[in-house]
Structures are given as C-alpha cells and as structure tokens.
Structure 1
Amino acid sequence: MTIKKVLIAILFTLSMLIMVGIAWLMANPLPPIYPYGPATRITANDHVTLRAFGDVKGVHRYHIESKDVNSFYIKALLHYEDRWFYYHYGVNPFSLFRAAGQWIIHGKIISGGSTLTMQVARLIDPHDRTITGKLHQIARSVQLEWYYSKDEILDFYLNLAPFGGNIEGVAAASIKYFGKHPKLLNKNEAALLVVLPQQPSRYRPDRYKDKAKAMRNKVLARLKGGSLINTVQLDLLVDEPIRLFTHDQPPLAPLLSRYLKSQHPKNHTITTTIDFELQSRLNTLMKRIGSQLPRKASAAAVIVQNRSAEIIAYQGSVNFSDLSRFAHVDMARAIRSPGSTLKPFIYGQALDMGLIHSKSLLSDLPSNFNGYKPQNLNGYFSGPVTAEQALQKSLNVPAIQLLNRITPQRFEDKLATANIHLSHQDANLAVGLGGTGTNLMTLAKLYRALASRGEVTTLRTLKIDKVQLPLGNQLDPATSAILSPESSWILFQMLSSQSAPDRVIPSTRRKIAWKTGTSYGYRDFWSVGVSPDYTVAIWVGRPDASPMLGYLGATQAAPIMFDAFDLLPEDQSTLAKPAAVHQTLICWPSGRALAQVPHRDCKEQHLALTINGMTPPSMDLYGNFTLSSQWPIKLAQWLVSEKAMQPSMLLNQASTPATITSLKSGQHYYRSQVDILPLTSSSIQKIQWFINHKPITNPQLHLNNYLGETVVSACINTDCDKQTIFIHP
C-alpha cells in the first residue's frame, strides 16, 4: 500500500510538472533567433564579400553553416565546449552537478556547466546569472532541442557567438581577425576562435594579444588530451605568435549592395552576379576618372554579360568615399534625360516596319512638326543623309522624321512590351531627343538587345541565396522581343562602323556598336556600347542636375566606356548575320533598288542592308512615302536655297543627245580671224566634249591645234550630238 501511494505521488508530481512545463512553454514561446533582424552580407559571385550590413543594433555577422567551416574548428569547439553535444537533450546533468559542486566548495561560480544549446538559449534570451536565470536557460534549451535539430542548433551558435565589439559568429570573426573564410582557418586560428566567445572583451587578440595567446594555448593543451593534436604539433603550435589581418577592404559595389539589402531585408546572405576582380578594376578606373571631373561631378557604370544577362560590374558613383561628389546617390538608377540614346530603337522600329533600309534617304533640314522644331546640337543641317549617317552623326531631324511616321505612342507601346516605361506624361516627339526620363540600368538592358537578336531580358544581379529561397524571379528572367533579329543586326553594323574617339590603342580589339547622348542643358552625358559578349553603359554628370557646359557625351562618357571595355576579356562570340538580311544596290532619290529604277532616275547609288530585299521608297520630311522618283519637295527646296543648286538639276531627265548650239555642220573658220571658239549646248546636264573623237577638259576649241575637217561631239553618257566644221589657215 505504501509503495502504491509513493507511485501515485510520483505520477501526480510528474503530471503537475508536465502541466507546469506546458503552461510555461505556452506562455513563453521561443524568441526569434535573430531578434534584431539579420546582419546581411552582400557577396560577389565567388562569395567574396562586397559589403556587409549590421543588424538593427549594428552587430555584424556573416551567416554560415557548419559544413562551410573548417572541420578542425568544429571538432575543437565540441571537444572544448560540449563533447556530449550530440547525445544530450539540451542539458548535460553531469556538467550541471559538477558546476554546482564547484560553486558549493569555492563559494563562487567556477564554471557554468552550460552546453552549446544552453549558450544559444542565453544568446537569444539573455538572463541573470542566478539560479532562477539558470532554470530559465535550461527551459529554453529544452525548447530549442524540441524545435530544432542538433545541426541547426550548432549553426545558431556558429552565427551568434560573440567575438568582441560588434562582431558575432565565427565567419565574421575569421574575416575580421585573420582576413580569411572560416573554411581556411589553421589550427592555431581555430583554437583562438574556440575560446574567444567565453570572454570576448578580455581575450580580443587585437587588444590583448598576450591574453589571447595564453587562452589559445590552453585550448591546444586540452585538444592534445583529446587526441586532436599530438605532442609534436602542440610544441610547434604554442610557440607561434598570433598573426592578425590588419588591412581593411573598402566596400565594392556599395550602392548596389545597399539597394539589394533594401529589397531583401530578411536575407542573411545575398550572393550577386558581380565579378569581384572586374569590379575592383572598375572601381580603380572610376576613382581615376573622378579626379579628372569638374567639381561636384560624378559618374556611373554598368557592365553586363550578354549571354546570361548578368550584371558583372556596377558602379553607382565615381568614388563612394568622396562626399563632395554626392557619393551616396546611386546614379545607375537615377532617372535622368537620356539625350539621344533612344534613337537607335527608333531606327530599329522603322526597319521592322519596312519604312527604311540602312541607306534610305532622310532629310536633315529646318522643320516644324506641329510646333515642335528640332535643332541639331551644332546648329547646322546636313540636307540629304542616309539613315546610317543620320544615326551615326546623331542628327535630330531625321530621328524625329522617323518617330513622327512611327508615332510616339506606337514607339512607347513597343518599349512597354519589354516592361520598359519612360518617365513623362504624354507620348510626344520630344521623347526621341531625350524629352523623357530613364536610367543607366534601362539603357544597358535595351542596348544588350542589339547583340541578343533583338530580345530584351531582365538583367540579373542575384545568384541563389544560401539561406533563403531564390530571391524573386531572378533565376528565370523575363524576355521580350523589342526588335527583330534582322533589324538588331543591321543596327549593330550601323553603330559599329563609326570610329571611336581619339584614345590609346585598346588592349583588346573588338567590334563595338556604340551611341552617345547629351541631355538638354548639358546636364547628363551618356555612352552605351555593346560587343557580341558585353554591354557597357556610362553616365557622367552632376547628381544635383546642375549643368556642365562645354561637355558632350562623345567627349566625356565615350572615352570612359571604351576604357571599361578594355577591362574585359576578349569576346568569344560573333553575331551571325540573319538569312533575311541582304546587301542591295539602291538609288537616290527614290530609295528603291537599282533593278527597280529606270536608269535616268538613279542619281546616286548606295549599297544598303535590307530585310528580305525590301527597298521602301524615300519619305518626305513628315514621313510620307514619295510617289515619284524626284527628290522630296522640302529637301529639293533646301538644296536650291542652301546649296545654290539649279531646280532643273534636281529633276530626273532622260538622257537625250545634247544639241550643240555654238557650232553648225558645214561652217568654215579661219585662224587669221578667230583664235578660240566656245563650245555650248542646249543641255543643263554635265557634257563630255570631244574633238576629233578625243576628249577635252575645257569646252573650248583652239583653232591653232586643228586644220581641215574637224568633228566636234557633245555627249551625255553614250548619247552624242556631232557637228563637222572646217578650219583654214
């Protein structure tokens, strides 16, 4: 009966304890592991740190898993701190009894008897060093073991353990003190980091090197006892001094890092597509450029690998440490006027719509498009130009001539299919000359299409994050065709056939299609170039939008763009010509193929790049196809007024024989009476004169050179008028 009562009492007590435990657990759920949010590390594509951000309290930690830490460190940590870690349920009763005995014997706490789980519990939920606090810690440890696996708890310790100052976690400590990834720790470094969390403020090696060395050696001695090192190794290791890493690496791609941190605030690690070595070289280049810029001026650069659409280098300001240049303003994402940089895509749409080929006749002359009067930057007009010349010279009127025919709304709708939206209120012609807003990232995205068969793809900046799921939809970027493969290839040829600005010989010869832009008021200077493998976009200007008079995109941004290309390896790809692109001889002024134009209508011949052999007729100034083979009316009027051409010279006339008007067959002339006879004809076209079937350069007949029957001929092409005269002494 007594035994029965005892059993009942024990069961009752256990039940009560379980109920109390359940009630406590319900009333005291586990606090968040990272109560002040993650400390985020932004890395390059090879996991080298670009920039690190502390948590809300300013604590820095680099999130890591045990499999990515040196195995000797893990073994040493478990042997020194909690060798029964994988066998207990959060609490090691033998360690607690030993700690209690030491407390009773010595009257003070000698060791806490804490397991790694208990240390994690104290880190996420600090408590007083009292019996009540210890019980609270034990309860939290049991909670941790209930909710998480042993490996997860070990990872929590690796990331939360204090290492002095605002450094938490073995990864941040390894990089701060030794300048290396924790996978690369040697035995001495690992031993020091094992003991440092016990009293980080007292053992910090950067402040108390002797104390740190003594504690390191204490750990090494215990590791020898655990057979993790032998006697020979111990003797060698304890004599080694502590060697610290003292070079602070300035942040790379700091503004991109800041942007990604703001977009993904819950991630511990964000791995980017940035190439660390390339980013370092670009950073050096931009700092050098910064020293040459005017006061308050900055610059930005974006480099894209075309095949993957990955951003492999990103510089949001010219020098992140130069606050006088508004260094913390990210000009790669700032909305600014793009100047002439949108023009290639106007020409591309015109090619796809069958409005032009590469040598179509366009009009660069004073014009008025319903009140909009575009001017060229130099104030001059060129008159008749090919589409290729107009684009290369960045002439404004031809671009508006095409945009007026396409219509601004249709142009913008096509951009919108690739999720590219310009910043202005209503679609208008001024958009073609920079009367809108966009940014460097968008231009890099657009120009990449010229080497990607006309396809615009969302640019990638992120790899897979090691802690969270893949960030956003970055692994499957959206792709839209903004140009046809044919028009994009033709644009590439048009833009790559122009010469680069004066500069030293490039380190790598490559074919680059490039375009510059200068915004209204000389506030923004752009240059964007694309090779088969890479796209480079450059902006220069003042972030406060004050003007930089005397500068141009061609003189300020283009040299930087070509210097950035010099940082890149040699292109491995070539752009294959689409089968539908043909070279076709065309005629001016009609713009049609030579085979389609009567001989008399072909004033000039040009070798054009066409799509499917299409040769649309020339357009007048306002975008309408001309119905005749004559020069467009406005262009003809300009040629007469500005180039002093006779109206009859602009007409396409049949090649009929010219009539010689100064001589008649059968006439007789005497040298004693006449020295020179002028030769004239009825034609206004260019005449080739012959005397006795031999050509002469001046339309004059010198009688002293001839005697007897003399034949004078006036020819237009192969059609001639002949007169036979007689010359006497």
Structure 2
Amino acid sequence: MKRLLPNLRATLPVKMAGWFVFFWLTVCVLNKVWPLPPLYPDGPATVVVSRDGEILRSFGDRQGVHRYNVTLTDVDPFYIQALLNYEDRWFYWHPGFNPVSVVRAAWQWASNGYVVSGGSTLTMQVARLIDPHARSIAGKLKQLWRALQLEWYYSKDEILTFYLNLAPFGGNIAGVEAASRRYFNTSAGHLTKNEAALLVVLPQKPSLYRPDRYPDTARAMRNKVLDRLHDSGLLGDQATAYLTQEAVELKRSDNTTLAPLLSRMLRAQYPDRHVIQTTLDGVIQQRVARLLEKVKRQLPAHSSAAVLVVDNQTANVLAYQGSVDFQDNSRFAHVDMIQAVRSPGSTLKPFIYGMAIDRGIIHTESLLSDIPTRFSDYKPQNLNERFQGAVSASDALKQSLNIPLIQVFHALTPAVFEQDLRQAGVQLQHQQANLTVGLGGTGTNLQTLAEMYRSLASEGKYSALNMVSDHQPAADPDKTLLSAESSWMMFHTLSAISAPDRVVPRVRREVAWKTGTSYGYRDFWSVGVSADYTVAVWVGRPDSSPVVGYLGATQAAPIMFDVFDQLPEDNRRVNQPVTVKRQLICWPGGRAKAVTEAASCAYQKYAYTRNGLTPPTLESHGDFVVTDSWPEALRVWQQHKGRMSQELSEPSSSDQKQPEAGIRIMSVNHGQHYYLSQIDAIPLKSNKKPSEVFWYVNHQPFSGSLLNLTHYQGEVTLTACQGAQCDKRVILVHR
C-alpha cells in the first residue's frame, strides 16, 4: 500500500489532465457536429421607441411574435428574485441542469408512466425555446446538451437575460418587457409585486394562465407564487395576505402607432436590431399627430401632409409625421412624404441670396430689377404676373419675387450654387443645373430642406439629421452651406415676414420662414426656423395631381406655425455676428454712401453687409453697373411706366428701420354673417395697393374687386396675398 500511494500521486495529475483534454476535445467535436442554433431563429422582433423608451411601433419576427428585448438592469429586481426562487433557486450554482431535479423527474416518470415534473432549469428552458424538442427521452437528452452548450458559451447573467426576452407570455407576446406593456401598460422595471408574481408563472402555461382570458386561473397561479415566496421568507405574513386578496388588474394601452413611416424606414436600415431607440420626443410626436388629425378634415380628397421637427442644437429629429393619417389609404398613407422627392418651389431662394452675399455679388439692400427679362431662352414670371421695377434684395426675398431672384442666380451661376451645395453635403436631383433650379426646377425632399434651413440658425453649418439616438455623426466643421454672416442675414430677413392671420401663438418666438409652391400647384411647402427648432411642412397629393388655387402660404404655413405652438420655448438666440456691418448705401449705385458722390446718391438705405463690403448694383444680365447710375434696362422700363419718381421714395435715415406692416383684409371681419335678402355683393379691400394683391375665394383665384354673394352659400374663405404674406377671413352667407 505504501508503494502504491507514491505511484498514485505521480500518475493522478497526468490522468486528470488526460481526462480534461479528452473532455475538452469531445465537447469541441460535439459543438462542431451539433452547433448551438441561433438564439432568435426567426429573426429579431424589432421595437422602435422614442428617446424616453415609449414604443412607437412594434414589428414581429418571421412567426409574428412580438418582443421588446431588455437587459437585467431594465427589469424590476423583485421580479428577478421571485423568478429565481420559483423556477430555479440553484441557477447560479448548477452547470445548466440540476442533477437532483433530473433524477427526481426521471423517477416520477418511471413510476407513473407519464411526466409529473420536468425538472427543467432556466438554462434548459432557454435551450427548449431556441431548439424545441419532442417530450421524450431523446428530446430531454437533446435539451440537456443544449443547456450545457449555453453554459459553455455564455455567462449566467447572459442566459438569464435570454430567458427574460424569449419566454412566452401568451398569444404572440414573448419576453417580460413586451408582456409588462401588453398586460399592465408599464415597463418591466416598474412592476408591482402582484404583477411580477403573475409574470413569473405565466410562461409555464401561457395559453391557460393568460390574465385577459382566464383571470381566475391567473389569480390562483399568481397566489401560488406569492405563497412560495412567503414560505421562502421573501414576503411577510401581512404582505402576503394583502397581496393575495387583490384581483388581477389589467391596464391595456391604447396601442396608438406613432411615427409609423419612420419606424418602417429605420427597421429596413437596421434589420438585425431588436430595439431601435430614436431621437423622437414622444410628447411632441403625439402633439404633431393630433394636429394632423385636425388638418386632415380641411384637406381635399386624396391629399396628405407631412411634418418634420428638428432640434437645431443637436440636429436630432423630435417629430416625424410622414403622412396625414397612416390608416387612411385613400390619402396614400403608406407614402412617406418626408422622403419623397418633389419640386421645392421657391424654398431654395434664401440660399441663392445667401451665397450671392458670400460671393460679394449683393448685400441685403442691393438694387434689383423686377422687370420683364429674358435670360437666354428662359423668361421667368412672377406668380402674380406683375412687375415692381426697382426692388431691394431683402424685399424681393420677402415677397418671393421670381425675376430678381433669377437676376441674382444668373450672376452667381447655377454651377457655383450646385458646387456649394455638394461641398456641404446637399444633393439636389436634376440632370443639369440651370436657372430653373432657383424656382423649383429640381428635386429634393422635406428632410433635405429641414437640414438646409437649420443652417440659418447654426451659423451656416450644415449637418445631416439624426434619427437614431446611438448614431450621432460627428459634426464636420468644413460642411458649411452659408457663412455665419449671410446665414444671419437670411434669418433676419425671413423673420421680418408677418405670420398668417391666426390665433395669438401660445409661445412668442422669432421665426424665419419661407414658403414654396411647385409648378402646376402640386406641392405646397413651408419651412421655418427659430433659434432652437426647425419645422418643415409639406402639403399636397402624393400622386402628384394638382390642387389648383392652393399656395404654400395659405396651406402649409398655417400648419407650420401651429406646430411651432406645440414646442417648448426657445432658450437660445440667433446672434448677429460682429462681422455683419450696417452700412448706409446709395441707390442706384448700390455702394456705400461714403464712397458715392452726393449727386449720384438718389436714395439712401441701410443695408447689412459682410465686413462692410458694398458691391455695386447689378445689371439685369449680371454685370455690375459701371458708374453710380441706374441699370439701363430698369431705367428704360421705369421711364416707360412713369415710375422713376412715383414708386421710389427716400427712406428714413434713422438707425431703427420700422418693419413693414403685413397685408390685412379690411372690408370684412372673420366670422361675419351676410344675408342675401339684405346684401348681394361686398367689396374686396386690403391695406395694400390693389395692384399688389392677389385674391382667392375658396382657394380659387379671383380677379375682381367686388364679390357677388349670390354665387355662394355657407362658409366662404377669402384670402388676400402679397408675395409670401397672406391674410384669410371666413364669412358665412345665408339665403
């Protein structure tokens, strides 16, 4: 015996090492032959959520099962404690199966001839969920092998997390988070003790214990869990008695789908994600959705609307409403009009003017020529088919005049405009850049316009929008759409435009805004930017059929301002750069008064300039005037019209320029009633010159100055527009 012990001591480590190597090789071979199947064999069930975790939309896996994947830290600790106590109290100590439980289950099966208890650990239950098997000895052995594989590859916490996300909870619901929201309208991190106890036992027989179908059975099984916890010392006598007396209370959510089109797009972009957390603000998204429910009632048949709200500081999207009503197929609800490429109308004008300022072509009060002009084979027209003659760049932008814009665009050149856009990261869709691009002869979408207008409150810096919270692209300082100076000038100019006639806003804020109407009345745009937010709105028909008589100013702009009313107050300001100088300039030459001879300074204006640069006035076709004289074509036109002295008046030299009053309808009051037995016609008057005003009756163009009421009955909408500014009144006509 004494001789044997030294030999045993010498050979035992070698034998143990040999057995370990044999075991390791055996496991490796078996893993190759029977590898662990995918944890989600039917693909992920994707949940798209807001930035604060609110479900926007849920997508089932290939079998239609919905789940909301979470981690251990997302789940209420009492639920975890109750689960381990009730299902597998030795979970953190066994190797994947509990030998005592397996022997007991085998003995009961042999003694009774049928399965009495399964003896499955949580690891074995996960094994069955990822690789279902028959209820047989072969199936049980397969389950044991899968459990060993899980323990081989994953930690205990990872396996427990798999169970939390894979366990069935009735119907097409899997995972504790999806079940918590389905039955109790709360997250798994905020369960009550009764709710937690019910969800512990529900996966045992989810079809029979469902609280929405069998509340009495569900209550009995819940109380069984509570009694087990009491016996284990996890619940006191008083708590157990109180909890077991409670009924099963379900709190169903309204299952409202928010941002469905964004969710669809993100799921296509991230097909392997279980949870996609967006940057959307759940409260703002709900407000926008409710607002468009009201807008829908006012839109003509087959029309839709889209709204995008952006946080300027972070470029995060706060609300994304791609159609007016996702449930209304008659309005092409499945078409995402935020991504749809359409003609932008006049919405590109501020960036053409801004780039021209950056190139030293104009300043804000440069003299432009709103006269009939042909640029090669292109002859633009203003929307109202009228001409104003001499007009400043800022007034031309505020009134959205087409001919002065093309005059500046011609001097800038479409090639330079397109080059600057591409360097910033903006890609318009057209075959070849030409002058028509300035008036909407190109393609873009609402998202791109929001990105561009955001730059006006961001010192001209351009950035792609963020829609996923964990995907925040680094800002590229080289991507600038406009300089800090010209972006502020555009913001300052556009914020001077009067808002549409509407109820006093909930929050007063400075909003720079621009509208656009595409050729043929197919698309109606309004994009506004405050210090903190950008709001972009599209209205129209997704099938591109026209809505004659509509305008961006009358349809999209009111929605845009209503959306602004749903947003918190701005905390920032758009500050004027120190390099923006206010200079006294002279017309017709356009240069600073200090360098202009008194005899040549017919009219004085205060202009915002970049570093004091005051370029001379442009001729209609793009050359600068040689001397401080009127552009030749403008001089001839104004002499012909007799306007050289009539329509040009010397502005005040006061440093404080008074804002121009917006257009107002003066002849009728909103909500006024008219009775045909007493009156059959009313005049149409505004506070502007009749020649400058465009009238619409029930959104159709109207050219007269007297409205015959005998042609109408009920509500009649009167709209007067001057450039981008409009005023609206609704009257009621009775027979």
> Which bin holds the TM-score, normalised by the shorter protein?
0.7 to 0.9
Query: How many residue pairs align between the two structures?
Result: 640
Partner of 1:547: 546
Write out per-residue CA displacement over residues 541-560 of structure 1, whole angstroms, 9 at most, x where no aligned residue: 10000000000000000001
Does the C-alpha gap of structure 1 residues 646 and 542 become closer, same or farther in structure 2, counting only changes over 3 Å? closer
Write out per-residue CA displacement over residues 8-65 of structure 1, whole angstroms, 9 at most, x where no aligned residue: 9999999988766543321111111111111111111111111111112111000001
1:380 is aligned to 2:378: no
The DSSP-based 3-state class of the residue aligned with 1:214 is helix
Partner of 1:292: 298
Q: Distance in 1 between matches of 2:25 and 2:393?
A: 86
Partner of 1:476: 474
Q: Distance in 2 between matches of 1:30 and 1:189?
A: 33
1:324 is aligned to 2:330: yes
Does the C-alpha gap of structure 1 residues 11 and 128 become closer, same or farther in structure 2, counting only changes over 3 Å? farther
Aligned residue among 63, 66, 82 for 2:72: 66
Partner of 1:571: 570
1:252 is aligned to 2:287: no
Partner of 2:212: 206
1:614 is aligned to 2:620: no
Q: Is the 8 A contact 1:392 1:494 kept in 2?
A: yes
* Unpaired runs of at least 5, structure 1: 465-470, 651-729
Superposed displacement of residue 207, structure 1: 0.8
Q: Distance in 2 between matches of 1:58 and 1:245?
A: 23
Write out per-residue CA displacement over residues 634-656 of structure 1, whole angstroms, 9 at most, x where no aligned residue: 11121122336699x99xxxxxx
The DSSP-based 3-state class of the residue aligned with 2:207 is helix
Q: Distance in 1 between matches of 2:611 and 2:77?
A: 65
Does the C-alpha gap of structure 1 residues 127 and 12 become closer, same or farther in structure 2, counting only changes over 3 Å? farther
Aligned residue among 84, 88, 108 for 2:114: 108
The DSSP-based 3-state class of the residue aligned with 2:298 is coil
Partner of 1:653: none
* Unpaired runs of at least 5, structure 2: 650-735
Partner of 1:76: 82
Q: Distance in 1 between matches of 2:40 and 2:476?
A: 34
Does the C-alpha gap of structure 1 residues 573 and 644 become closer, same or farther in structure 2, counting only changes over 3 Å? closer
Q: Distance in 1 between matches of 2:325 and 2:347?
A: 25
The DSSP-based 3-state class of the residue aligned with 1:345 is helix
Q: Distance in 1 between matches of 2:332 and 2:145?
A: 52
Aligned residue among 344, 359, 366 for 2:372: 366
Mapping for residues 8-157 of structure 1, pairs under 5 Å: 21-157=27-163
Write out per-residue CA displacement over residues 518-558 of structure 1, whole angstroms, 9 at most, x where no aligned residue: 00000000000111111111000100000000000000000
Write out per-residue CA displacement over residues 475-524 of structure 1, whole angstroms, 9 at most, x where no aligned residue: 42445111111111111111111111111111111111110000000000
Task: Output the amino acid matched with 2:537.
Answer: I
Task: Output the amino acid matched with 1:204.
Answer: R
Task: Output the amino acid matched with 2:530.
Answer: S
Q: Distance in 1 between matches of 2:411 and 2:131?
A: 70
Partner of 2:267: 261
Partner of 1:588: 587
1:342 is aligned to 2:338: no
Partner of 1:406: 412
Q: Distance in 2 between matches of 1:512 and 1:71?
A: 48
Q: Is the 8 A contact 2:182 2:253 kept in 1?
A: no
Q: Distance in 2 between matches of 1:494 and 1:16?
A: 81
Q: Distance in 2 between matches of 1:543 and 1:277?
A: 27
Task: Output the amino acid matched with 2:260.
Answer: P
Q: Distance in 1 between matches of 2:238 and 2:106?
A: 37
Write out per-residue CA displacement over residues 598-627 of structure 1, whole angstroms, 9 at most, x where no aligned residue: 222122111111111111110010111000
Mapping for residues 506-525 of structure 1, pairs under 5 Å: 506-525=505-524
Q: Is the 8 A contact 2:181 2:253 kept in 1?
A: no
Q: Is the 8 A contact 2:539 2:556 kept in 1?
A: yes
Aligned residue among 169, 173, 181 for 2:187: 181
Write out per-residue CA displacement over residues 95-118 of structure 1, whole angstroms, 9 at most, x where no aligned residue: 001111211222210111100000
Determine what percentage of the aligned residue pairs are the same residue.
56
TM-score under structure 1 normalisation?
Answer: 0.85
Mapping for residues 348-359 of structure 1, pairs under 5 Å: 348-359=354-365
Q: CA RMSD in A?
A: 2.3
Partner of 1:395: 401
Does the C-alpha gap of structure 1 residues 10 and 410 become closer, same or farther in structure 2, counting only changes over 3 Å? closer
Partner of 2:672: none
Aligned residue among 455, 462, 466 for 1:449: 455
Task: Output the amino acid matched with 2:333.
Answer: A
Task: Output the amino acid matched with 1:503.
Answer: R
Does the C-alpha gap of structure 1 residues 406 and 225 become closer, same or farther in structure 2, counting only changes over 3 Å? same
Partner of 1:625: 624
Aligned residue among 268, 274, 277 for 2:280: 274
TM-score under structure 2 normalisation?
Answer: 0.84
Partner of 1:237: 243
Q: Distance in 2 between matches of 1:360 and 1:448?
A: 25
Q: Distance in 1 between matches of 2:581 and 2:644?
A: 34
Q: Distance in 2 between matches of 1:19 and 1:586?
A: 89
Partner of 1:159: 165
1:560 is aligned to 2:559: yes
The DSSP-based 3-state class of the residue aligned with 2:139 is helix
Write out per-residue CA displacement over residues 186-214 of structure 1, whole angstroms, 9 at most, x where no aligned residue: 11111110011011011111111111111
Superposed displacement of residue 248, structure 1: 2.2
Q: Distance in 2 between matches of 1:484 and 1:205?
A: 62
User: In terms of Rg, which structure is larger?
Assistant: 1
Q: Is the 8 A contact 1:300 1:540 kept in 2?
A: yes
Does the C-alpha gap of structure 1 residues 10 and 488 become closer, same or farther in structure 2, counting only changes over 3 Å? closer
The DSSP-based 3-state class of the residue aligned with 1:535 is strand
Q: Distance in 2 between matches of 1:419 and 1:10?
A: 65
Partner of 1:503: 502
Write out per-residue CA displacement over residues 343-387 of structure 1, whole angstroms, 9 at most, x where no aligned residue: 000000010011111110001111111101111111111111000
Task: Output the amino acid matched with 1:40.
Answer: T
The DSSP-based 3-state class of the residue aligned with 2:525 is strand
Partner of 2:424: 418
Partner of 2:663: none
The DSSP-based 3-state class of the residue aligned with 2:302 is coil
Q: Distance in 2 between matches of 1:171 and 1:16?
A: 43
Task: Output the amino acid matched with 1:62.
Answer: Y
Task: Output the amino acid matched with 2:176.
Answer: V
